[in-house]
Chain A
Amino acid sequence: MTPTPVLRLLGVGALAIALAACGAPPAKESSSSGTAAATAKSAADFGGIDKLVEAAKKEGTLNVIALPPDWANYGVMIKAFSDKYGIKVDSAQPDGSSADEIKAAEQLKGGDRAPDVFDLGLNVAVANKAIFAPYQVETWGDIPAELKESSGLYYGDYGGFMSIGYDAGKVPAPTKVEDLLKPEYAGKVALNGDPTQAGAAYSGVVMAALGSGGSADDIAPGVEFFKKLKAAGNFLPVDPSPATIESGQTPVVIDWDYTNAAQTAKLTGKLDWKVVVPSDAQIGAYYNQAINKDAPHPAAARLWQEYLYSDEGQNTYLQGLSRPVRLDAMTKSGKADAAATAKLPKTEGKQVFQTQEQADKAKQVLTATWAQAVG
């Protein structure tokens, strides 16, 4: 065959398209204050909060990731921040995990769609210090020392306790973890995720351990509990979501008290969703806030951080029935929303927070035994 110019053009055109498809990501726009904002360790480095607000407004956008609207009141938080400062908030992957947040930062690095800020389980935060920028908010002094990394790379933002949420119209009220083994709960007890993957489910196993003779050091009884739960026919291996709760597929859900309590508020009038933190098994944990070192909007990222830790932001967390990290300080100063505090699921008695070593040990046990226990 003799090649015609048209064919040759086609070939070259296709080649050009193929090359374009493998092209580089768009370069990030450089803001005039970009470098200064990216290294600012506090509002003072900007010359005060007003200057920070100004720089953030100039950027005009904030990228957040893995913040479900019905989780710790993030839907309200994002809208309030956006309205207050006139900054557009791009919320990506609302149902993502902490690991997804880090992956997105790595994959989108250098682009203008990379996440500016992270909301992470402690585990993931400790493992990824290298990609955070240190920043201390104005209210830094109110945050308990054990809940913050000393230079401000990451620190607790809100926390809660593991709880049992249940549909009071379908099942009797459980008070202890062991109650869930009773025949009334046949095929009804769901755990929010796979504990070898999801932080909430992992803490659910720790709760079960505390409630059945284990401890923060020894979670094997927790795995044993779920094995018994499955043998009794009570364990429901469905991933619970607001939809499964509303449709009655998951009448009992082991999850954080603030996510369960959010369902109570949401389903009022449809079904009677109650939340109990078992008195014999109170395991708490805080999520952590961090700023992406390569944030495309470094000033907006820092302003978001300031907003979350302001009285207003902390009360927004509180209204979502999670426990903001400054709760004690704000209760003392009378700044905390008393009505919201009164609604928090009751916790009295011994409260357990796992240390990193305890958690590492527990994870080894889980990896080796979980699949068999429920498989």
Chain B
Amino acid sequence: MVAPVTTSAGGGAAKAAAPGRGPTRGNVLAWLVVVPFLAYVGTFLVYPTILVLAGAFQDSDGAFTLSNLTDLMKGVYLQAFWRSIELSAITALLGAVFGALLSWAVATGNPVGLLRRVVVAGAGVLAQFGGVPLAFAFLATVGFQGFVTKFLQDSFGINLFSGGAWIFELPGLTLVYTFFQIPLMVIVFLPALDGLRPQWREATESLGGSSWTYWRYVGGPILFSPFLGAVLLLFANAFSAYATAAALVSQGSPIVPLQIRGFLTGEVLLGQENLGKALGLGMVIVVGVAMGIYALLQRRVSKWQ
């Protein structure tokens, strides 16, 4: 076994300026060059986040209130959160399992072969395939008037929608989300599989271990952290996805991002923007927890790479 090498924190960071001296010319310039980046991040990430956090604690007149947060714990919104979490967890697991199998097929194949090139390129494109094009693709194939739906109906008498309009509800969202979760899993999990060195397998075999022993004592434990980390990343990816669901689901706003859409564009219930911001705060917390665990796992993973 290889002993893990501990690296000091920030080992790769640039050398800090010598203490006790005023700002050097290089230092000022460095700051100057980083200003556009900070301005960009501040304008598009930090500022909106602060707006959402502040708005969550205000009523429509701008006074401090906790009622938005207590409303979050009420029926419709709490259910939306559970449904969102359920949808994200299921698609993350499905995506992780199928994506891992696909990655494994690629990793054990020819490193410069056609399969690998096609899958890696395809995954890069399909992981970003979402929103209206994705929703339309599914409606055109397995929608009510879809090509596949019609074909099954006409050729085999199979009615895809005998159980109701599932494509426009959570089952439909699950199917469609899994479609972009699998390629994302390939992208994040393939490097971990590539990190398994053939020498470890050879060492296991020369010491009399079977395939099972190898996966049980070597491969499995090493891949466990990156796998779990990838699941969390997929969870956050699905949890925060909006465009696909918005294009597909127009009734009932089953998940949180769609609830927020309702507060922003609705013309029936007015003055609920701050409740929307409270929902946003709830989403930030859920994703924050997932990403926090992911960061912890990454720290363990990096030892092996």
- The chain A residues found within 8 Å of chain B, CB to CB, are 1-3, 7-8, 10-12, 14-15, 17-19, 21-22, 97-100, 103, 120-121, 123-124, 127, 187, 191, 193-199, 202, 230, 233, 235-239, 247-249, 363, 366-368, 370-375
Contacts and interface: CB of A to CB of B under 8 A. Distances in A.
B268 A198 contact: yes
Interface stretch (B30-38, B179-187, B277-285): B30-38
Nearest to B29: A3
Interface string B70-87: 000001100110000000
Interface residues of B, number: 38
Interface in B143-187: 143-145, 161, 164-165, 168-169
Nearest to B43: A22
Contacts, number: 126
B254 A367 contact: no
B19 to A, nearest CB: 20
Given A22-B43, A127-B271, A235 B26 contact: no
Contacts of A17: 36
Contact of B76 (A3, A120, A195, A367): A367
Contacts of B268: 121, 123, 195-199, 202, 363, 366
A236 B144 contact: yes
Contacts of B270: 99, 123-124, 127
Contact of B33 (A11, A22, A230, A366): A11
B13 interface: no
Nearest to A205: B268
Contacts of B250: 193-194, 237-239
14 contacts: A3-B25, A7-B33, A14-B36, A18-B40, A99-B265, A121-B267, A197-B265, A197-B266, A202-B268, A236-B144, A238-B144, A249-B145, A363-B269, A374-B252
Contact of B262 (A11, A194, A368): A194
Contacts of B79: 371-372
The 4 closest A-B pairs by CB, nearest first: A197-B266, A239-B250, A98-B267, A237-B251
Given A127-B270, A196-B253, A198-B268, 18 more contacts: A8-B29, A14-B35, A15-B35, A17-B36, A21-B39, A97-B266, A103-B264, A196-B266, A198-B267, A237-B165, A238-B250, A247-B145, A363-B269, A367-B76, A371-B76, A373-B252, A375-B169, A375-B252
A2 B76 CA distance: 61
Contacts of A10: 33
B52 interface: no
Nearest to A15: B35
A2 B254 CA distance: 58
Nearest to B144: A249
A194 B251 contact: yes
Nearest to B25: A3
Most buried by B among A193, A198, A237: A237
A66 to B, nearest CB: 10
B111 to A, nearest CB: 38
Contact of A196 (B26, B168, B262): B262
Given A15-B35, A97-B267, A127-B270, A1 B26 contact: yes
B265 A14 contact: no
B286 interface: no
A14 B267 contact: no
Interface string B10-37: 0000000000000001100100110110
